[in-house]
Structure 1
Amino acid sequence: MGKKAYRHPAPEPFEGDIRAVTVGGTVLWLVLFVVQLPFLGWLDDHDRMWWLWTCLAGAGLGVLGLWYVRRREAALARGGDAGARSNT
């Protein structure tokens, strides 16, 4: 009944080294996938095969994310962010 809605301005977006973060996350998922390969029998016996496929999906999505980041950086380098600036 007496709730107040506090409105704060949105913070500025963080522009760090997005490519390094994406590559690091992708490599981490891929390493986790490879580390689990020797334990296929144990994973199958304990109904934990989803661990393996989750790591593979994470690595695949990381590759997709790297493709997206590279295209985004190329568009920003070409000046493709001019449309985004005019919308604000």
Structure 2
Amino acid sequence: MDDMFGRAKKKDGGAGREPGARLVTLIGKPGCHLCDDARGVIAAVCAETGASWEEKDITRDEELHRAYWEQIPVVLVDGEQHTFWRVDAGRLRRALDA
């Protein structure tokens, strides 16, 4: 799977995951240094916890743009907003373990 910048990205989990597995979504945009930082934290925490993660490009989705433009990067856990701007690894890990 490619990330929002066209780079190949490895996503933990996938086809063999248990039903009800956790999903982290990073909403960001190309060229965003905070998005780059968030991506690193999310990738590490998801690798530790076994959660899957994905990215969505706010510049390609009008609804996401309207909802989150002033908050990017935004992190969702199972579709619910978890945080924005900065991602705390410990807090994300606790949310995924809950």
Q: TM-score, normalised by structure 2?
A: 0.27
Instruction: Please identify which structure carries the higher helix content.
Output: 1
Instruction: Please identify which structure carries the higher strand content.
Output: 2
Higher gyration radius (CA): 1
